[in-house]
Amino acid sequence: MGRSLSDLVVFIAKRMVQLVLVLFGAIVVTFVVSHLSVSNPCIAWVGPHAGKLAYEHCVQFFGLNHPIYVQLYQYLATLLTGNWGIDQVNQQPVLTLIATYFPATLELVIAALLLMIVVGIPLGVIAANSSGRWADHLVRVFYLSGWAVPTYVGGLILAILVAPALHIAPTGAFTGTPPFHQYTHMSVVDALIAGNIPWTLNALEHLALPAIALAFFNLGIATRMTRASMLEVLPLEYVRTARMKGLSEVWVLYKHALRNALITTVTVLGLTAGYLLSGTVVIEEIFQWPGIGYYAYQSIESYDFTGVVGTVIVFSIGVVIANLVADILYGILDPRVEWR
Amino acid sequence: MADSGELPPSAALTTAEMAAAVDAAVHHRASRRDQFATLYAVLRANPLTLIGFILVAIICVTGLLVWLVPLVTGLVGHPMTIVPYSIIIPSGAKYLGPSLAHPFGTDEAGRDVFSRVLAATPIDLSIGLSITLFSLSVGGVLGLIAGFWDTPGTVGGLVSVVILRVTDIFLAFPSLVLALAIAEVLGRGFTVVLFAIAATWWPFYVRLVRGEVLAVKGTPYIVAAKAAGLSDPKILTRHIIRNITEPLIVYYTLDVGSVLITFSTITFLGIGFTPGTAEWGSMIASYQADLAFDAWPTLFTALAVFVTVLAFSLLGDGLRDILDPRSRRALAVTAASAGEVGRVSSGAPT
């Protein structure tokens, strides 16, 4: 075992096998849980005024009269062919819906991650450098408050109180279709590709509040990790040497110390990215952000099993991929790590 | 442990002072009273931890009183409560601002918000504490097994692999989505939400405990205990569990807040209690419609969640610094509480 490219390939391949196992488990658990207790979703699907015939047709059509393991087998079999089922409410393939909803969520998560990095890491450095003094206490109160404000409260306050005061668009929904081709379905990226500056600014404005709401709650993770690992690095000889050489304080802190302290922070941020994904459920519901969390909530509300299982699959893939990326980044940043 | 040779040479001390310092350091754990003095000094040196500690104490006592006073006085025959107003019947005009009579104002039905927030305290607090305790027990036992008997090729190794794979599945789960799905499917209600969160919460503890066990297992004193012929259960209970409790306490304290937030998020999204129940998440959900023109009910209820979560976070965060032996500041602070020696060594730059 070492650090050559082939080791990395083997490492990734192993993790992919794990991914399949995890996904299989997640699908089975979600499928069973969501199918077991609702006596019959067709009652909800055909509507209160439908006749007995329409109801029985629905039961027949979705195979709900079969035992649950038969239903599970049929679902898995169609899933393998790339057919994730039909969304009962929107009457569209689940995969198509996920493909349209997911990029918006990805954009939101990336924006939140960027905010966490840009704000959270310098705060951690400041706190560590003034450990035990008032700046440290202030930073700690700040990130712990972020942690203690439930996402839904922060989102509500931003959407209903802050947005009108600052004249910012409170929701993620555009008033019209963007006048450019949607390459990625991420509004900011698409507007940038189109080279349309006003639209980019508009898209950024829509993105700002949901991203802040999502980032604020998780800011503490970046700050706390950076602070902790900076505290470990700062007393080391090489930092003292750098200071003795007469390097500026900023250079010592951010170039020498942070470089080594970042290893844990990056790993933890990678792990967080996966959970940010499912944290979007509340944010997207509040800000009407057309993402996968919004879709997941709608599916749950309308007893749409295929939608629920589909989004759980996406969330699980997201977590596992984020973990994998975190491990790979860890190996790249820390030359002592071997791919195993 | 602290002889005079370890004192920084720069410190100008007389022999008598040195002797007193060494004496203080050596005997600082001598009595229970001194232990409390140490704890007090540590807390005083970490004002935020002290604040967290006090807040947690106040919140827990309040929760207990709200729950116990009607119960106990009911047994005597004169039911009393410390909640000032009814949580169902209106006690004033609608949408009153904060006043002396109604510290948190009144809501859209004229109910006293303060009373409702107070009445919800035992519910939310007990859920935060009990789900973490459940997860700690289930995840902790599984983590101990997976960490201690993990030799490949043995029955224990097989068991631990199975435990870890199942844990991985649940770890990759979007806990909020699953909890929502379970709660939506099983119907709306208290126990359902409890079950849903508990089902997704324990895996974190498996990972945590296993990691700690693996770290402790390799230490020389465990190897020595094995060599001395101690049985596995004895090593586990006497040596390993004792040495992994500190990180667990820290994580548990921090986690109470996370559970509380997840729980109130689920109830906020409308799954859990019937509308009108005094529970923080459902209360905010029902107050949010009025947020634009009367923000008090939402803000004060949110403040209750905020203060509770913040209190546990401050306490947990502070405990981490105090309990984690690697934290230099914690060491310096603990030393400072030990008397004269500390006064010298805490002068070292951090």
Do A156 and B176 make contact, defined as CB atoms within 8 angstroms?
Answer: no
* Mean pLDDT, all residues of chain A: 80
Between A184 and B315, residue with greater pLDDT: B315
Closest CA to B287 of B145, B95, B103: B95
Which DSSP string do the residues of B81-96 spell out, in sequence order?
-S--S-SSS--S-TT-
Least confident window among A186-190, A269-273, B41-45: B41-45
Residue A93, classed as helix, strand or coil, is: strand
Give the chain A residue nearest B51 (alpha carbons): A141
CATH of domain B122-334: 1.10.3720.10
**What CA–CA distance (Å, rounded) separates A34 from A225?**
37
- Residue A173 pLDDT: 55
**What CA–CA distance (Å, rounded) separates B329 from B342?**
12
Which DSSP string do the residues of A300-330 spell out, in sequence order?
HHTT-HHHHHHHHHHHHHHHHHHHHHHHHHH
Alpha helices in chain A (DSSP H): 5-36, 42-46, 52-61, 68-80, 94-115, 121-129, 134-148, 151-156, 163-166, 187-193, 197-233, 237-244, 249-251, 258-287, 292-301, 305-333
Q: What is the ipTM of this complex?
A: 0.78
User: Would you place residue A324 in the very low, low, confident or very high pLDDT band (cuts 50, 70, 90)?
Assistant: confident
Closest CA to A201 of A170, A158, A171, A169: A169
User: Would you place residue A199 in the very low, low, confident or very high pLDDT band (cuts 50, 70, 90)?
Assistant: confident
Low-confidence ranges of chain B (pLDDT < 50): 1-11, 28-30, 328-350
Asked if residue A144 has pLDDT above 80, the reply is yes
Q: A160 CA to chain B: closest CA distance, Å?
A: 6
**What CA–CA distance (Å, rounded) separates B206 from B216?**
15
Residue B112, classed as helix, strand or coil, is: strand
List the single residue in A18, A30, A137 with the smallest CB-CB distance to B181.
A30
List the single residue in B166, B176, B314 with the smallest CB-CB distance to A278.
B176
Asked if residue A171 has pLDDT above 90, the reply is no
Residues of A in Cβ contact (< 8 Å) with B48: 137, 140-141
What's the predicted TM-score (pTM) here? 0.79
Residues of B in Cβ contact (< 8 Å) with A300: 177, 180-181, 184
B214 shares contact with chain A (CB less than 8 Å): no
Q: Regarding the domain with residue range A97-333, which homologous superfamily does it belong to in the CATH classification?
A: MetI-like (1.10.3720.10)
List the single residue in A151, A279, A316 with the smallest CB-CB distance to B173.
A316
Closest CA to B104 of B113, B96, B116, B95: B113
Sign of CA dihedral A211, A314, A318, B254: positive
Residues of B in Cβ contact (< 8 Å) with A131: 329, 350
Sign of CA dihedral A134, A139, A141, A142: positive
Between A246 and A174, residue with greater pLDDT: A246
pLDDT digits (tens, 9 = 90+) for A63-101: 777 777 888 888 888 888 878 877 777 778 888 888 888
B8 shares contact with chain A (CB less than 8 Å): no
B166 shares contact with chain A (CB less than 8 Å): yes
Query: Average pLDDT for residues A288-299, to the nearest whole number?
Result: 86
- Residue B307 pLDDT: 94
A208's enclosing H/E stretch is: helix A197-233
A87's enclosing H/E stretch is: strand A86-87
In total, chain B counts a number of residues equal to 350
Do A297 and B269 make contact, defined as CB atoms within 8 angstroms?
Answer: yes
Domains of chain B, by residue range, sit at: 122-334
Show the CA angle centred on residue A167, arms to residues A163 and A170, nearest 5°. 40
Between A158 and A3, residue with greater pLDDT: A158
- 3 state SS for B155-201: HHHHHHHHHHHHHHHHHHCCHHHHHHHHHHHHCCCHHHHHHHHHHHH
Residue holding tokens 């805490």? B346
Q: Mutation target for B interface from A147, A323, A327: give the one with most B CBs within 10 A.
A: A147
The residues of chain A that CATH labels 1.10.3720.10 are 97-333
- Residue A24 pLDDT: 86
- Residue B136 pLDDT: 93
Do B172 and A26 make contact, defined as CB atoms within 8 angstroms?
Answer: yes
Query: Average pLDDT for residues A297-320, to the nearest whole number?
Result: 82
pLDDT digits (tens, 9 = 90+) for A6-37: 888 888 888 888 788 888 888 888 778 777 65
Contact A106, A273 (CB under 8 A): no
Residue A92, classed as helix, strand or coil, is: strand
Work out the percent of chain A whose per-residue pLDDT is above 90.
2
When computed from its CA atoms, the radius of gyration of chain A, rounded to whole angstroms, is 24
**What CA–CA distance (Å, rounded) separates A226 from B73?**
51
Contact B346, B332 (CB under 8 A): yes
Q: What are phi and psi of B278, to 5 degrees?
A: -80, 95
Contact A227, A127 (CB under 8 A): yes
- Residue B186 pLDDT: 66
- Residue B337 pLDDT: 41
Q: B175 CA to chain A: closest CA distance, Å?
A: 8
Q: Which residues contact A316 (CB under 8 A, 6 or more apart)?
A: A22, A23, A26, B172, B173, B174
